[in-house]
Chains A and B, each alone.
Chain A
């Protein structure tokens, strides 16, 4: 449904996209994952005919984004990061207007606007001006508007950024419902959780290039297996703890003085955990935490989009607005494991 081949786009000095390839099959969700400025939005703008590529070709639902732009527009829906609905119209008026512009008949766009209002729990607010809506209601209306013509391909540019967990979950359920009914979705996101939950395929882009793609599982496999991680209570114990773990696991541990963490790759599961726990007790090293960590998509993202680590305290270059969906502490980059 979406085929992108060697698409490049430059804005002045900035190479926003440097030859991107991507395929999305019908009824699948592809998540574009990448830090701010990676080129996600540029790609979405090209695929929705808002921007012409400098080179390369892209087809959506069989239509070329440049040559067949008008028929293409009837086949897509776009919901943006910045809810593009008219604040001075009511929710219903917004939906009916978009329906009219998809060239639905009046009877049809009225009926469908009502359906969308019901589906997105906006019936009570239907005839209120959008400027009185909460952020979540606006986003629902925005996505509802993009669905009014039931387009076979849907582009969602950071659909849940800034939404509370409940609203986000509602939207996820809805997207899953659409996909089950055959809609193809391309979504951009900074939330690993979102990509993991929704996407059949994840495309990681950074600085205008695809740097990895695959399912969430495939991407995690690139990072190897589990790690055993200990956090010492007293920074002075860090070296001793590292020596201890090296001895137990027969691997070279990685230490991070900033967070007082020591970690080693572990493929022995709980046996290693228990052995290490005994040794820590024997040697009387006080621990704040000890456990087995499975690599998360966060780790994948950070290791892929960070500069290679150059020492003990490998600092991932984390974009300022980066955060995990539910606000839990960010995972530490584990670049070392990629080697």
Chain B
């Protein structure tokens, strides 16, 4: 080891301004993007799961499901798009639980960085997984017979809505990761909301076929209203209030789960 002149200039304590918080968030996002790039197998696995779901519903179960006034492939593929981003945002919970376990969250919490940056940087970086996964699903969907039936602007708005919902949901998963503190538990716990929202919804079967007590939930829960909005944007048809309801759900999810996850992060013990 060579000698090093250690200049004694400590860093002056600076209050955390929004600009600094943004810079910290960028730093965390960069770290997580590098991690994503260096584990490409995770990206592949992230795309395989929704692809399996797509093929399952298109070729195995789809034949037995009848949707009024349209082809099943056009009905189910927009729902698969949303499932792809939900699976993408699930990695947020596993990643945060891993960070807690490895002790790197302790390091971050001992640094003078913005408290929200570790979470915001993580969810933003994980968004890239969702985008990639969605792109793969769009290609695969078209390959198995899905067709867009609307103008380009609406289609792009529809895909943007998918991404926005996936991002909002990554805050739910951030909360799950911080609450469970363990990657395996986080993974198992994370399946639960995904399962409930996916099957008690209009994703793969028409809500009208469900028992009456289930129908109100299945029609108005966040995933269902988003699927309705996305179907209308991608394939034409009446958008109704679905778009605003979806955006309101997304905003509410971010607000509530950002608050909870930030509180969990502040008090995190690994």
A85 to B38, CA, bound (A): 16
Q: For chain B, residues 15 to 40, give those with C-beta under 8 angstroms from any C-beta of chain A.
A: 15-16, 20, 23-24, 27, 30-31, 34-35, 38-39
Determine the distance from Cα of A182 to Cα of B6 in the docked complex, in whole angstroms. 10
Contact B110 A129 (CB under 8 A): no
Please report the C-alpha to C-alpha distance between residue A74 and residue B27 in the assembled complex, in whole angstroms.
17
Q: Which residue of A lies closest to B103 (CB)?
A: A84
By the criterion CB–CB under 8 Å, are B107 and A98 in contact? yes
**Which of A51, A149, A170 interacts with B10 by CB under 8 Å?**
A149
Given A80-B103, A80-B107, A150-B8, A97 and B27 contact (CB-CB distance below 8 Å): yes
Q: Per-position contact with B for A151-191: 1 when CB-CB < 8 Å, else 0?
A: 11000000000000000001001100110011000000000
Task: Decide yes or no whether B61 CB sits under 8 A from chain A.
Answer: no
Chain A neighbourhood of B23, CB < 8 A: 100, 103
B31 near A89: Cβ-Cβ < 8 Å: yes
Residues 57-73 of A at the B interface (beta carbon under 8 Å): 70-71, 73
Name the A residues within 8 Å of B31 (CB-CB): 86, 89, 93, 97
Query: Is A84's CB under 8 angstroms from B13's CB?
Result: no
Contact A50 B109 (CB under 8 A): yes
B110:A74 contact, CB within 8 angstroms: no
Confirm or deny: B102 has a beta carbon within 8 angstroms of a beta carbon on chain A.
Answer: yes
B1, B14, B16, B24: which has the most chain A beta carbons within 10 Å?
Answer: B1
* B113 contacts partner chain A, Cβ-Cβ < 8 Å: yes
Of chain A, the residue at the smallest CB distance from B31 is: A97
Max chain A Cβ within 10 angstroms of own Cβ: one of B7, B15, B107? B107
A49 touches B110 (CB 8 A): yes
Assembly CA distance A100 to B2 (angstroms): 25
**Interface size (A, Cβ < 8 Å)?**
48
Best-surrounded residue of A82, A100, A121 (most CB of chain B within 10 A):
A100
Chain A residues within 8 Å of B102, by CB: 82, 84, 87
Q: Once the chains bind, are B1 and A73 in contact (CB under 8 Å)?
A: no
A71 — which chain B residues lie within 8 A by C-beta? 13, 112
Within 8 A of A (CB), among B61-113: 102-104, 106-113
B64 to chain A, nearest CB (A): 44
> How many A-B pairs fall under 8 Å by CB?
115
Interface residue? A313 (CB, 8 A):
no
Q: How far is the CB of A331 from chain B (nearest CB, A)?
A: 32
A305 at the interface (CB under 8 A from B): no
| A11 to B, closest residue via Cβ | B269
CA distance A75 to B106 in the complex (A): 16
CB <8 Å contact, B107 and A145: yes
Given contacts A88-B38, A174-B1, contact A70 B27 (CB under 8 A): no
Identify the closest chain B residue to A86 (Cβ): B104
Evaluate contact between A70 and B1: CB separation under 8 angstroms: no
Query: What distance in Å separates the Cβ of A34 from its nearest Cβ neighbour in chain B?
Result: 20
Assess the A78–B106 pair: CB atoms within 8 A.
yes
The answer to whether B1 touches A88 (Cβ under 8 A) is no
> Which chain B residues border A170 with CB–CB below 8 Å?
1
Residues from chain B with a CB closer than 8 A to the CB of A70 are: 13, 15-16, 112
Interface check A101, CB cutoff 8 A? yes
Whether the Cβ atoms of B13 and A74 lie closer than 8 Å is: yes
Q: Is the CB of B112 within 8 A of A84?
A: no
Which residue among B12, B24, B38, B112 has the maximum number of chain A CB atoms within 10 Å of its CB? B112
Asked if A48 meets B110 with Cβ closer than 8 Å, knowing A70-B15, A174-B1, the reply is yes
C-alpha gap A129/B39 in the complex (Å): 12
Inside 8 A of B24's CB, which chain A residues have their CB?
Answer: 100-101
CB-based contact B109/A49 at 8 Å: yes
Q: Confirm or deny: A15 has a beta carbon within 8 angstroms of a beta carbon on chain B.
A: no
Asked if B110 contacts A73 (CB within 8 A), the reply is: yes
Contact B34 A89 (CB under 8 A): yes
Which residues of B lie under 8 Å from residue A74 when comparing CB positions? 10-14, 112
Which of A73, A129, A181 neighbours the largest number of chain B CB atoms within 10 Å of its CB?
Answer: A73
CB of A306 closer than 8 Å to a CB of B: no
Q: Are A103 and B112 touching (Cβ within 8 A)?
A: yes
Q: Which residues of chain B have a CB within 8 Å of any CB of chain A? A: 1-4, 6-16, 20, 23-24, 27, 30-31, 34-35, 38-39, 102-104, 106-113, 269
Q: Which residues of A contact B (CB under 8 A)?
A: 45, 48-51, 70-71, 73-76, 78, 80, 82-89, 93, 97-98, 100-104, 115, 118-121, 129, 145, 147, 149-152, 170, 173-174, 177-178, 181-182
- Could you write out 12 A-B pairs with CB less than 8 Å apart? A45-B269, A48-B110, A51-B269, A74-B14, A84-B102, A93-B34, A98-B107, A100-B23, A103-B112, A118-B2, A150-B7, A151-B10
Extra contacts besides A89-B35, A121-B1 (10): CB < 8 Å: A50-B106, A71-B112, A74-B13, A75-B10, A89-B31, A101-B112, A102-B11, A103-B20, A149-B10, A151-B11
Closest 4 CB pairs of A and B: A71-B13, A84-B103, A73-B112, A119-B4
